[in-house]
Chain A
Amino acid sequence: MDTTLSEEEVMVRETARKFLEARCPTKLVRAMEKDEKGYPPDLWREAAELGWQGLALPEQYGGSGLPMTYLGLVMHEVGRALTPLPMLSTVTAALTIAAHGDTALCQEVLPKVVSGETILTWAFTEQDPRFLPETVRMRAVADGDHFVLTGTKLFVENFVAADQCLVVCRTSDTGLSVFLVDCRSAGISHRDLVTLAKDRQSEVTFNAVRVPRGRLVGGLNEGAAIAEGLIDRATVLLCAQMLGATRKDMEMAVEWSKFRKAFGQPIGAFQSLQHMCADMLMWVDGGDLLTYEALWKMDQGLPASVEVSQAKAFCNEKCQAVVRGCQVIHGGIGFIMEFDLQLWYRRVCAWTTRFGTAYEHRARIARALLDHPGTVILGQPVPVVAEA
């Protein structure tokens, strides 16, 4: 048991931080809010040169085979700088392909992800926003050596930038399957959503889109478990990203409080404000601890769903409270568009709504705690029950 960072982990974090401080100023963040694709291709290539896209992918496909905790450290820095790159959707989809795709598919797709040539995304949610298998209505029907996909997906991140998309479809009354679909396939149309984060999310409609059988990721009708793993990875990495952004926001607010004077002293000397900041520090620290424990469990091959839900439910509410506090500390200047603070506030708010609400994640924890026989002991695993 050791919650401190090793030398190598510190190096991963510091390298990422220095790179993004130099290459991702808020000017770029602002510019990308208005960019059609939402990301700068040269920065994406540089990230690939640093090995980020392939950080946790297997070495046989050109990746570095490093643990998820390392990827978490990088995503923390990606969030800190509000980096406008399709990193989260790409690495999450790529890890899913690496875990469940056959060798041919992995060999075709993953080296190009590692090199930065391919951008990936994934699509699960439809109209019902909950992350439950029964919310998936989009059908994939077998037709010779193809499947025909029909339906509409919502909140698909970076679809406008992505080359390929993992799509979770219903292939039987009780079974889901996952397909890797070329984003420019005939029959696909999309509408862009306007989000708090000013990121790129789309409603994507599949109208009898033909997908070759070889694009099935994992077994037919085995998609529910694959999707759960995908969503868990996306969720925990989003926590890391959110915490990176939230901690930076807190640091800016604390610095502001030392500089800004009122009633003859820095506002940071007022105890009412100090105690707010003490809470903020405890919350981001708590979020970090929960998040890295979940990532560590994934690295050990241990069940981590409860830990992921712990992290996300906590981060949704606490990160929101921290960034709100940072706005309060800044006063009026905090919501002026020219001032950078709002960039962090809007993104963290948006991210708290993604990949499971606090209620959903707590419901999942409650199932693990309450719907099984036996005595629970803190610090020891509790089982998880899939929703019936």
Chain B
Amino acid sequence: MDFGYTPEQQALRREVRAFIAEHVTEDVLAERGSSESNTGRGEGGAMKRLYEKVYERGWLGITYPKEYGGQGGDRMTQYIVEEEFTRVDIPVGMGGSGAPAIMAAGTEEQKQYYIPGLIKREISFALGFTEPHAGADLASLQCRAVRDGDEYVINGQKMYTSSAHMATHIYLMARTNPNLPKHRGISIFLFPMDTPGITVRPLWTMQNDPTAPIGTTYGHQRTNETFFEDVRIPAASLLGKENGGWRVGAMGLNLDRVGASRYLISVRRDEDIVNFVKLNSFDGYAPAKDPAIRDKIAELWIEAQVCRLMTMRSMSIVEHGGNFTYEGSAEKTWAPEHGVRTTEAIAQMLGPYGQLLNGSPHAVESGIFAHNLQGAFQSGINHGSTQVMRDQICRRGLDMPRK
């Protein structure tokens, strides 16, 4: 066991901080506001230039092999860089389960095409998994892909395709054989979002009116439903084997459940509330002196440490060349539920100020705590609900029976 960072890792953290202080300038911060900028294609170009500099430093695609544009680095390096950038709300991770799935199951051609593009943030995926009638029970999905010569023809509907309106490509799970048991008739496809036959319709979230401030947990104003009508794609769009998509998809999802950004979305309000109450009082009432609030803040702080340590555990296992079994699911249960507990406790600490949204007179910290009440619980729903995660914990971690 070693709970420390090496001198090299500490130096890296200092280097990243210095870089951020120098290069995350006012124009970058201004552009950061629109989520479209986060793909590196912001209209002002400041974000794009920043990403070019981050790439030059070797801080994008750190854990990916050099032949695909990565750095061949380790996960702790990735973690440190990602943690620092996430604190200024600039994503530098690979953003989803697409890249790990391609590395695991892709053809050489697919790796050469997608991985460098994903690293440089020139390619981004919308995640096409969930359907109107397939959420937690994802394997019951109905979206169809039918082989027709050198092509597949896609028909169906996907829900909560969050970045579909700005992604360059989609990472889609569809049924290729309805006659096989449900998990065995599924395949994964990668293709451009501008392929004819795709329609993206916005679904506006609670965070849209008013707009959630930067850094809000699930502060996205918009998700989408995406329709596929006789969408013809080349057969080479298939990722992995036909009807072998379930394992590939699940593996990618599992990896996407751990890491710095997942950890930080669940714990940043812990830091925020401590730092807020230290500096603020209401006409002489100082929450930081209130014994009930002090006790609750300490309780939440301890839970946040567990989030951090569970993240470290998952990464340690992967660094040793192992695969976590239940540990990733534990992290994906503990952290979101902790984030919710913190968010709800903060509302009770702030009382009526806790309801004020972005832009309101008297709003606390641009209303982020109130907006978080609209977002925090989503992290326990997305990418595998905490209920599904608990099923996995007792199957894989405790070997409990199905029947």
Contact = CB atoms under 8 A, between A and B. Distances in A.
A285 B295 CA distance: 23
Nearest to A372: B278
Interface centre among B76, B277, B298, B306 (most CB of A within 10 A): B298
Given A363-B294, A363-B295, A2 B275 contact: no
B11 interface: no
A292 B2 CA distance: 9
Interface string B1-31: 1111100010000000000000000000000
A310 B301 CA distance: 8
B394 A290 contact: no
A165 interface: no
B390 A275 contact: yes
Contacts of B271: 375-378
A362 interface: yes
Given A275-B387, A286-B310, A362-B299, A300 B267 contact: no
B186 interface: no
A1 B2 contact: yes
B274 A369 contact: yes
Dominant SS among interface residues on chain B: helix
Given A289-B306, A314-B306, A377-B271, A365 B298 contact: yes
A281 B334 CA distance: 11
B180 interface: no
Interface stretch (B153-161, B191-199, B312-320): B312-320
Contacts of B235: none
Interface stretch (A41-49, A231-239, A264-272): A264-272
Majority-rule SS of A interface residues: helix
A19 interface: no
Query: Which of A69, A281, A300, A377 has the largest count of B CB atoms less than 10 A from its CB?
Result: A281
Interface residues of A, number: 50
Contacts of A369: 274, 297-298, 301
B394 A278 contact: yes
B270 interface: yes
Nearest to B387: A275
A47 to B, nearest CB: 23
Contact of A6 (B1, B302, B387, B391): B1
Given A3-B1, A289-B313, A369-B297, A282 B393 contact: yes
A294 to B, nearest CB: 9
B403 A281 contact: no
A333 interface: no
Given A292-B1, A365-B298, A369-B297, A285 B330 contact: yes
B400 interface: yes
Contact of B2 (A2, A266, A282): A2
Given A274-B400, A290-B309, 13 more contacts: A1-B315, A254-B398, A258-B401, A275-B394, A278-B390, A278-B397, A281-B326, A297-B3, A310-B301, A362-B298, A362-B302, A377-B271, A379-B83
16 contacts: A3-B309, A9-B1, A274-B391, A275-B387, A275-B391, A278-B391, A281-B398, A282-B333, A282-B334, A282-B393, A313-B299, A363-B298, A365-B301, A373-B278, A378-B270, A379-B83
Interface of B: 1-5, 9, 76, 83, 267, 270-271, 274-275, 277-278, 288, 294-295, 297-299, 301-306, 308-310, 312-313, 315-317, 319-320, 326-327, 330, 333-334, 387, 389-391, 393-394, 397-403
Interface of A: 1-6, 9, 69, 254, 257-258, 265-266, 268-269, 271, 274-275, 277-279, 281-282, 285-286, 289-290, 292-293, 296-297, 300, 310, 313-314, 358-359, 361-363, 365-366, 369-370, 373, 375-379
* Nearest 9 interchain pairs by C-beta: A362-B298, A289-B309, A366-B294, A278-B390, A278-B393, A365-B298, A286-B306, A274-B394, A296-B3
